[in-house]
Amino acid sequence: MADAAKPDVRPNNSHFSSGPCSKRPGWTLEALSDAPLGRSHRAKVGKAKLKEAIDLTREILNVPADYRIGIVPASDTGAVEMALWSLLGERGVDMLAWESFGAGWVTDVVKQLKLKDVRKFEADYGLLPNLAEVDFDRDVVFTWNGTTSGVRVPNADFIPDDRKGLTICDATSAAFAQDMDFSKLDVVTFSWQKVLGGEGGHGMLILSPRAVERLETYVPAWPLPKIFRMTKGGKVTEGLFTGETINTPSMLCVEDYIDALKWAKSIGGLKALMARADANAKVIFDFVAANDWIANLAVDPATRSNTSVCLRIADADVAALDDDAQAAFAKGVVAILEKEGVALDVGAYRDAPSGLRIWAGATIDEADMKALMPWLTYAFETQKAALAKAAA
């Protein structure tokens, strides 16, 4: 096999990681110059910044006025854990999982909270479980977009309006890129470092009035750590949802999140963010359709993520290898892309099937995504030639 020819055009931005994700176009450190560094987050300036972040979040995501929005510690994981430990146990719960993070929530509920009335609806990577079997008279926990599988729920139509239980949705790689119907969601969580490319360490927790009612009428049987407590004297702690955070936030990270939100607003808000992600994902999907050596991990086109696009090597010669050799081949492709400086951190998640995972969210420019595609072919052909040479 002849040596593959290197493409002539390189992406201007090679950051295609699925988290932390690429900064917004044009970002520089100067964007953080207004951060109140060395000041207390409880000072007037700190509280104002935190409230601005909450208000802009509500505006961009179109969060209903009667939903509460809080900034919480420990990224999306912290936000989900706060919801699970504070809200579950009042009734039975249905847990949905089709990738590693959803499976992690199942483990927490079954092995850590030790809830007895738990039903698990699980699916292999690339698929969704049967959503029609879920009972919404029970609490339901699910990820909107499986970051490590590239599989998302297509919409919220499977959730009834007259549900009796709460819906708890991990939306960390869906918020700001996918159209989520908040009327169907009682708890929504996400982190700054995903679709908007903010810095890590902070999470967002959005609660419906139904979730607040649960907080005020139900006391879990287990002790709650301080960073999980959202009520005092049987009433929700309102300050948490106006910028009075439970622990000390990084005001530098807050400033960065505000900058990302202002950028989102400047380009047209949620619709523009979704359009950018859709356009980027379409570039990948069109490439996959034109090349039989690569395929989407998500089986059903209606469930394919427009942010964390997961791909598998479908070449017949590679598919004939054992699992370890297939994984080594995919890692070789990733290593070539990184060596060339055209795509960084695009390997599949460690628990997922081997392959590629390319971030297509709104902070990626479509031109860079288009420039990357020929490099995928180059990396594959180069790795395939190395495989043939080793077998000779």
Would residue 245 count as lying in a domain? yes
What are the pLDDT digits (tens) for 120-169? 999 999 999 999 999 999 999 999 999 999 999 999 999 999 999 999 99
What are the pLDDT digits (tens) for 168-227? 999 999 999 999 999 999 999 999 999 999 999 999 999 999 999 999 999 999 999 999
Query: Cα(345)–Cα(199) distance, rounded to whole angstroms?
Result: 17
What local confidence, expressed as pLDDT, does residue 391 receive?
A: 87
215 with 296, same domain: the answer is: no
The burial of 131, by beta-carbon neighbours within 10 Å (0-12 exposed, 13-18 middle, 19 or more buried), is given as middle
99 with 194, same domain: the answer is: yes
Residue with tokens 């927490």: 108
Query: Cα(212)–Cα(206) distance, rounded to whole angstroms?
Result: 10
- Out of 265, 283, 312, a domain closes at 265
35 with 128, same domain: the answer is: yes
316 with 191, same domain: the answer is: no
240 with 276, same domain: the answer is: no
107 with 247, same domain: the answer is: yes
Would residue 15 count as lying in a domain? no
58 with 118, same domain: the answer is: yes
Would residue 7 count as lying in a domain? no
Question: For residue 361, what is the domain's CATH number?
Answer: 3.90.1150.10
Question: For residue 177, what is the domain's CATH number?
Answer: 3.40.640.10
381 with 236, same domain: the answer is: no
What are the pLDDT digits (tens) for 48-84? 999 999 999 999 999 999 999 999 999 999 999 999 9
- Out of 209, 235, 265, a domain closes at 265
Would residue 6 count as lying in a domain? no
What local confidence, expressed as pLDDT, does residue 392 receive?
A: 83
40 with 171, same domain: the answer is: yes
pTM beyond 0.85, yes or no: yes
What local confidence, expressed as pLDDT, does residue 4 receive?
A: 87
Q: How many domains does the chain have?
A: 2
Would residue 4 count as lying in a domain? no
What are the pLDDT digits (tens) for 349-384? 999 999 999 999 999 999 999 999 999 999 999 999
210 with 123, same domain: the answer is: yes
Give the β-pairing of 167-170 and 139-143.
Answer: parallel
What local confidence, expressed as pLDDT, does residue 1 receive?
A: 53
Residue 2 has pLDDT above 70, yes or no: no
User: Could you list the residue range(s) of the whole structural domain that residue 240 is in?
Assistant: 29-265
239 with 303, same domain: the answer is: no
End-to-end CA distance of the chain: 11
128 with 209, same domain: the answer is: yes
Query: Cα(143)–Cα(94) distance, rounded to whole angstroms?
Result: 12
**Cα-flanking dihedrals φ and ψ of residue 226, to 5°?**
-55, -40
User: Of all residues in the chain, what percent carry a pLDDT higher than 90?
Assistant: 98
Would residue 1 count as lying in a domain? no
- Out of 202, 231, 265, a domain closes at 265
Would residue 115 count as lying in a domain? yes
What are the pLDDT digits (tens) for 289-329? 999 999 999 999 999 999 999 999 999 999 999 999 999 99
